[in-house]
Amino acid sequence: MQKKMPLRKCIGCQEMKNKKSLIRIVKNKEDEFFVDLTGKLNGRGAYICPTQDCLALAIKSKGLERSFKCQIPEEVYEQMKRELGQNE
């Protein structure tokens, strides 16, 4: 019997995808944001596809603000752009 693959929704394109193929952004209790490439950091998580297109859609539609219910500092978006640039 095959195991179920966990699915998560991308905050950019709004598509359900395999959790392992997405990048996780985490907000911890101290309201700090991290790009979690391992998927194991503690805190509230949101998922995004590892493409510049999905990041642009997430910024335009305020996907992170909606997921975390707070303002997102510009540094978080800059860090995400750097991480996505390294992954491509």
Q: Which H/E stretch holds residue 55?
A: helix 52-61
Judge whether 20 lies within some domain.
Answer: yes
Q: Model pTM?
A: 0.87
Would you put residue 14 in left (φ > 0), alpha (ψ -120 to 50) or beta? left
Helix count and strand count (H, E) for the chain: 3, 5
pLDDT in tens, 64-80: 999 999 998 888 888 88
Judge whether 50 lies within some domain.
Answer: yes
Quote the tokens at residue 9: 């929704």
Judge whether 15 lies within some domain.
Answer: yes
Q: How far is CA 35 from the centre of its chain?
A: 7
Spatial distance between the Cα atoms of 71 and 74, rounded to a whole number of angstroms:
9
Question: How many domains, the chain?
Answer: 1
Q: Find the CATH number of the domain harbouring 17.
A: 3.30.1230.10
Q: Which band of pLDDT confidence, cut at 50, 70 and 90, is reported for residue 88?
A: low
